[in-house]
Amino acid sequence: MELSLATRTVGEHTVLEVGGEVDVYTAPRLRERLLELIDGGARHVVVDLGRVDFLDSTGLGVLVGALKRLRTAGGSFALVCDKEPLLKIFRITALDQVFPLHPTVDAAVGADPTGANA
C-alpha cells in the first residue's frame, strides 16, 4: 500500500524502483526523489513501475515533470511497466505516446541509445 522507493545503478542508467500506491498523497515524495536524482547528476533515468499497485493522475504528472526536466538537461527518461491495467492507463491518457515504455529494465536500458553508446 505505502509508497516504496529504491535506487540502483545499471551502467550509465539510474533505475528507480517504485512500489505501492503513487497517488495525490504520495506523489510529492516521488517528485522529491526524482529531483534529488536529477540534481545529483543522474541523466539517464529508468523508473520501474513493476511493483506499483495504484497510479493516478498526480503520479503521472510527476513522471511527465521528470521527463521534461531530463529532456531539457539532454538526458533520457524511460518507464518499465508490463501490467495490463497500468498500460491501459497510459493508453487512455495518450501518455504511451509520450513515454518510452518497456516491459523490463533490461529492455529499457538496452533501448536507450545514449545508454547503449556510453
Partner 1 sequence: MATVRLSFSPAPVHVRTARLVGVAVARRAGVREDLLDEVRLAIGEACTRAVALHRQYGLADPVLVEMSDGGSYAVRVVDRAPIEAGIGLTALPPDELANESLTDEALTTGVGFALLAGFVEDLQVRPVDEGIGTEVRMVWPVGR
Residues that bind partner 1 (CB under 8 A): 21, 23-25, 54, 56-58, 60-61, 64-65, 67-68, 71-72, 85, 89, 92-95, 97-98
Checking DSSP bridges between strand 4-10 and strand 13-22, what pairing results, if any?
A: antiparallel
Nearer to ligand ADP, 59 or 75 (CB): 59
CB of 24 to partner 1, least distance (A): 4
86 binds ligand ADP (CB under 6 A): yes
In angstroms, the CA 7 to CA 37 distance is 9
Number of residues that bind ligand ADP (CB under 6 A): 9
| Cβ within 8 Å of residue 9, ≥6 positions away | 15
Nearer to partner 1, 19 or 54 (CB): 54
Whether 12 and 42 have beta carbons less than 8 Å apart is answered as no
